[in-house]
Amino acid sequence: MKISIIIPAYNVADYITTCLDSIESQFYQEVEVIIVDDGSSDQTARVVKDYQQSHALKLILLRQANQGVQVARQKGLEVASGDYVLWMDSDDWLNPNSLQRLNEIACQSTADLICFDYQFVRSDGQIRPSSLHLEELNNESLISCLLNGALNGALWNKLIKREFLMENQIVLPKDLRYGEDLASLFLIALSNPTVSVIRDILYNYYLRPSSVSNTKGTSIYTVSKSLNYVRKLLNAQPEYKQELDLFLYLHLYYYRVVLECDAQVRSYFKDEWKKQNISMKKNPLFYRFIMKLSLKEKIKFFKYLLLIARK
């Protein structure tokens, strides 16, 4: 079985070697690595070319004008020849023998989508494990697990059968900037992939302070576009209505208004939530969510309700 590892790269000259070294050092070698340089202005392409010349790793370098991570991922998929696809971020790395473990599960299960655990690594070396509840995938649908957060909304800890993507004509939504992974996974989930789970930590997600995902900036305001994309996808799935409503509430209101410190962000997302025209009063999942909050979170939640009531 062959694995195609697709890596979009943008201005990561200082980091991409670590990613490539972690792939080359794997015991499992049935791998092709496709790097799509998304219009980098630093020496990313030069670093990759030097790596090609000095290492045995099968490495393909594609270049494009800056069009964003989704276009780069799709471009890599179009030239991939592996049985399975793994989309990695260019500053992350695999644990030893991760690919061997993925190969074992893929051969045993023949699943379309294989989810595995990961850990966060900070720039100071501190490590924080994920908070996934992958066991819920045994009892809940993939869509439910994405909606309730049991499964994270990232592409980089999912091994996906390339034939499944091709047969279902999966084209990653390219006009999304924040939350694009999550939107892509809902699109994939609607094609009903068979799913397998590995609870082993196989992937290291580097919390680089200057990375796109860790620098909120103005891109945070575009998350509404991704969430509306998800809402449109699930409009024809009434069985998920209550879960979807809670999902939208959490991402547009609880995280962005109740827990947010920036007054400008709070104001913007308060208006975005109103546009959804969703009432949580009769949604039992909303009350279950409140009951599961820690005491500290409950205090903040009810303090905010009181503040709103006084206005």
pLDDT tens-digit map of 137-182: 766 789 999 999 889 999 999 999 999 999 999 999 998 989 999 9
190-199: pLDDT as tens digits: 999 999 999 8
Q: What DSSP line would sit under 1-29, residue for residue?
A: --EEEEEEESS-TTTHHHHHHHHHT-S--
Whether 181 and 245 map to the same domain: the answer is: no
Domain-ending residue, one of 161, 179, 214: 214
pLDDT at 213 over 60: no
Shared-domain flag, residues 83 and 209: yes
Question: Are 198 and 55 in a shared domain?
Answer: yes
Q: What is the band of 86 on the pLDDT scale with cuts at 50, 70, 90?
A: very high
Residue 310: band (very low, low, confident or very high) from pLDDT cuts 50, 70, 90: low
> Is the pLDDT reported for residue 236 higher than 70?
yes
Cα gap 88→9, rounded to integer Å? 10
pLDDT of 139 reads 64
Owning domain of residue 13: 3-214
In this prediction, residue 103 carries a pLDDT of 97
Domain boundary among 214, 247, 270: 214
Tokens of 42: 């630093």
Please, are residues 64 and 45 in contact by the beta-carbon 8 Å criterion?
no
242 and 206 inside one domain: no
The string of DSSP codes covering 266-308 is: HHHHHHHHHHH----TT-HHHHHHHHHS-HHHHHHHHHHHHHH
Same domain, 42 and 171: yes
Q: Domains in the chain: how many in total?
A: 2
Tell me the per-residue pLDDT of 62-80, one tens digit each, with 9 for 90 and over. 999 999 999 999 999 999 9
Is residue 219 domain-resident? no
- The pLDDT of residue 133 is above 90: no
In a domain, 225, yes or no: no
User: Is pLDDT of 210 > 90?
Assistant: no
For the chain, give the number of residues.
311
Pairwise CA distance, residues 265 & 245, whole Å: 21
SS3 124: coil
Number of neighbours of residue 10 by Cβ within 10 angstroms: 19
Same-domain status, 87 and 207: yes
| Torsion region of 310: left, alpha or beta (phi above 0 gives left; psi -120 to 50 gives alpha) | alpha
Residue 220 lies in a domain: no
**Is 224 domain-assigned?**
no
Share of the chain above pLDDT 70, in %: 95
Query: Does 168 share its domain with 284?
Result: no
Q: Could you tell me if 111 and 41 are in contact, meaning their C-beta atoms sit under 8 angstroms apart?
A: no
One domain, residues 45 and 171 = yes
Query: Quick check: is 230 in a domain?
Result: no
Q: pLDDT band at 205, cuts 50/70/90?
A: very high
The answer to the question of residue 163 being in a domain is yes
In-domain check, residue 152:
yes
pLDDT of residue 137: 77
**Which one is predicted more confidently, 234 or 129?**
234
- Assess whether pLDDT exceeds 90 at residue 217: no
Do 163 and 251 lie in a common domain? no
Same domain as 272, residue 132: no
Establish if 98 belongs to a structural domain: yes
Whether residue 201 sits in one domain with residue 285: no
What pLDDT is attached to residue 311?
52
CATH number of the domain within which 120 lies? 3.90.550.10
**How confident is the model at residue 212, as a pLDDT?**
47
What pLDDT was estimated at residue 101?
97
Where does the pLDDT of residue 61 fall: very low under 50, low under 70, confident under 90, or very high at 90 and above?
very high
Is a pLDDT exceeding 60 seen at residue 214? no
Q: Measuring CA to CA, how many Å separate 282 from each of 234, 253, 278, 287?
A: 20, 17, 10, 9
pLDDT tens digit string along 269-304?
999 999 999 999 999 999 999 999 999 888 888 887
In this prediction, residue 307 carries a pLDDT of 65
The residue behind tokens 């959804």 is 276
Last residue of a domain, one of 177, 199, 214: 214
Asked if 292 and 156 sit in the same domain, the reply is no
Distance CA 294, CA 300 (A): 10
